[in-house]
Amino acid sequence: MGKQLVIALGGNALGSTPEEQQKAVLVAAGHIVGLVRDGYKIVIVHGNGPQVGLIHLAFELARNEDQKVPVMPFAECAAMSQGYIGFHLQNALQNTFFSHGMTTHVSTAITQTIVDIEDPAFQHPTKPVGVFYSEAEAKRIAAAQGYQFIEDSGRGFRRVVPSPEPIDIKEKGTIRCLMENGDVVIACGGGGIPVYRKDGKLHGIDAVIDKDKGAARLAELIQADALIVLTAVSQVAINFGKPQQRWLGRITTAEAEQYSREGHFAPGSMLPKIEAAVHFVKAAPGHKAIITSLENAYKAVTEEEGTIITA
């Protein structure tokens, strides 16, 4: 496999409080250090759903107490989440490299992802963010604030915001430069801060970009050799959670699209990963996308584990 990897880190690599996150990123760093030592050049794209939701919620609660607290737009909350998660990841990777006697540098790039303001996603919010509520609480907040909620995989109700397609990544050149320089780069966190073009300028907008799709677009734009999506399962399955469940080892983009049409992948969790994988492999034929668990990061790259998606 080629040497330049974009690694998408799922929510299980982060935990849900600052203390949990600090511990979780150390574990994640431990699973990535072997690849860095082997000479792979790596960009890490992390999720931020729970974190950006909490940051947004904190400002809302504070504003309920004191109207002088400003409304904090989603783009700014995304930027804060990139700084917060970037700090922990950067720190954990640096400490891990130190303890292995490595001098590898780590940098975090605040990243803006350009979306199309005409994207139909703005009419149909789909992306769950923030904490889980009971149905009654969700209905109360929906009535009071005008937010939309959905039931999220049997775990409770969550607010949903628009999730437009990532078109371009403003900092792609900087990210590529840092990666070629040998830095491990943390970039495009949460899929990137959503911005749109108007009058020759970029403006933030209330939306969140799917981190797996952001990672796939970044991998395409910087011409990475592979996209590695690390999540909570070691392989993708068809008939997931059913008696006839079957784990997938190696599939083509055509098979992945067929299974997607047949509804094997849950929207909002596995489906965006499959779409991201298919997008990247189609944009970069001959290159691979692999979906596996954090623990299998190294074995994914050596193709011993995971679900490998090829042209």
Total of chain residues touching ligand ADP, rule CB under 6 A: 14
| Region of 139-147, 180-188, 214-222, 233-241 interacting with ligand ADP (CB under 6 A) | 233-241
Pick from 268, 105, 116: nearest CA to 186: 105
Establish whether 64 is a catalytic residue: no
Alpha carbons 107 and 184: distance in angstroms, whole number:
6
Residue 272: CB minimum distance to ligand ADP, A? 8
Establish whether 198 is a catalytic residue: no
* Residues 39 to 58 in contact with ligand ADP, rule: CB under 6 A: 47
β-pairing verdict for 184-187 and 106-109: parallel
Degrees (nearest 5) of the Cα angle 162, 274, 261?
A: 90
Residue 166: CB minimum distance to ligand ADP, A? 15
Nearer to ligand ADP, 264 or 287 (CB): 264
Sheet holding 168-169, edge to edge: 168-169, 112-114, 193-198, 201-204
Establish whether 239 is a catalytic residue: no
Pick from 192, 199, 144: nearest CA to 170: 192
Which of 41, 211, 213, 288 is the catalytic position?
Answer: 211
Establish whether 286 is a catalytic residue: no
Does position 188 interact with ligand ADP (CB under 6 A)? The reply is no
Does position 213 interact with ligand ADP (CB under 6 A)? The reply is no
Residue 85: CB minimum distance to ligand ADP, A? 13
Residue 251: CB minimum distance to ligand ADP, A? 12
| Region of 36-44, 59-67, 140-148, 236-244 interacting with ligand ADP (CB under 6 A) | 236-244
Nearer to ligand ADP, 270 or 281 (CB): 270
Does position 97 interact with ligand ADP (CB under 6 A)? The reply is no
Residues 14, 51: contact at Cβ < 8 Å? yes
Establish whether 48 is a catalytic residue: no
Alpha carbons 287 and 306: distance in angstroms, whole number:
16
> CB nearest ligand ADP: which residue?
10
Residues that bind ligand ADP (CB under 6 A): 10-11, 47, 231-233, 236-237, 240, 264-266, 269-270
